[in-house]
Amino acid sequence: MLEAVANRLRRIYFALLTVLLLAWVFRVTAFVVSDSVFETAAVGGFPGLAVVVVIATFYAILLAIMLWPRDREAKEEFDDEEIGDWKDTS
């Protein structure tokens, strides 16, 4: 299962989440007039430093899942195979 998550992260979701991160960083830094970045990053009652740490931890975990070396367990891509041929039933 971790292989499938890593593949989806590499192919699709990490790029989308990176765009989301860049938009959040722009939002936090672009509208800072007199406040610090951490004051601007605060969400409700959560301090900005805690929000930044949670977001940084989330992206670090995504990178670790995506880049961690592992043996390939999937048989192969099954785009060019007949339905039913991709799974061994023995």
pLDDT in tens, 16-66: 999 999 999 998 888 777 778 888 888 989 999 999 999 999 999 888 888
Considering the domain boundaries, does residue 74 fall inside one? no
Considering the domain boundaries, does residue 31 fall inside one? yes
Considering the domain boundaries, does residue 6 fall inside one? yes
Among residues 90, 70, 55, 57, the alpha carbon closest in space to that of 7 is found at: 70
Kindly report the number of other CB atoms within 10 A of residue 28's CB atom.
20
User: Which structure tokens are listed for 26?
Assistant: 């722009």
Considering the domain boundaries, does residue 25 fall inside one? yes
pLDDT for residue 50? 94
Considering the domain boundaries, does residue 84 fall inside one? no
Q: Are 86 and 74 in contact (CB under 8 A)?
A: no
Considering the domain boundaries, does residue 87 fall inside one? no
Residue type, 17: L
DSSP structural state of residue 43:
B
Domain extent, residue 46, equals 2-67
> In the chain, how many domains are there?
1
